[in-house]
Amino acid sequence: MRRKKIHADWVKAQFSSKWKSSSYRNVLIHTGLIENIIGEEARHRDNFAIAIKILRFSGYEKLGAIEELRKLRNKIVHKVEEEELDESEIIETRDRMHKLLGEIYHKNVLIKDYFFKKYGIHTDKEF
């Protein structure tokens, strides 16, 4: 029980102004939060892309921004080590991820409802 309380407090803290900038840490943490929600809702945590497809086939709409976020996350995480991205491309990718997170938190009902029900967070007002 105590562990869940600590985790809930940590998640809530990610929406403080300190953690909403477009830093690499912040966009990757927030992308991870979205990925976990999608995996939980799809009941498939092993693969982000498959979880999105499961939700699409289940009738969820408006997953395009989440799919784009997934692709950008993969680009910045997997291509950076292979030296396929220069610094300006990494910064551009990170900034695009930050913009998508804002769109998702403001417009995606699945994500908004999840954060409100589980943590009492109004993502459309707090991000």
pLDDT single digits (tens) 23-45 = 888 999 999 999 999 999 999 98
Residues 6+ apart with CB under 8 A from 45: 36, 39, 51
* 89 vs 106: CA distance, rounded Å: 26
Say if CB 108 and CB 62 are below 8 A apart: yes
Within 13 Å and on the Cβ side, how many CA atoms surround 45?
A: 5
In the chain, what are the domain boundaries? 21-121
- Asked if the model's pLDDT at residue 83 lies above 70, the reply is no
Name the least confident of 50-59, 81-90, 112-121. Answer: 81-90
Q: What are the start-end ranges of the H helices in the chain?
A: 2-13, 24-42, 48-57, 64-78, 87-107, 109-119, 123-126
More confident residue, 24 or 67: 67
How much is the pLDDT for 49?
94
- pTM for the model stands at 0.85
- Asked if the model's pLDDT at residue 121 lies above 90, the reply is yes
Q: Which two tokens stand for residue 93?
A: 């990718």
Mean pLDDT score, 101-113 = 96
How much is the pLDDT for 82?
67
- Asked if the model's pLDDT at residue 99 lies above 60, the reply is yes
